[in-house]
Amino acid sequence: MAKGQQPLNGKRVAFLAADGMEEVEYTQPRAAAEQAGAEVHLISLASGEVQSMNQDIVPANRYPVDRTVDQVDPADYDALVLPGGTVNPDRLRMNPAAMDFVRAFFEQDKPIAAICHGPWSLVETGIVNGRTVTSYPSLRTDIHNAGGNWVDQQVQVDNGLITSRSPKDLPAFCDRMVEEFAEGRHTHPLATA
Asked if residues 132 and 156 have their Cβ atoms less than 8 Å apart, the reply is: yes
Given 116, 144, 186, 188, the catalytic residue: 116
Catalytic annotation on 186? no
Q: Which of 25, 26, 22, 20 is nearest to 45 (CA)?
A: 20
Catalytic annotation on 116? yes
Given 117, 174, 186, 188, the catalytic residue: 117
Q: What is the DSSP string of 72-107?
A: --GGG-SEEEE---SHHHHHHHT-HHHHHHHHHHHH
Active site residues: 116-117
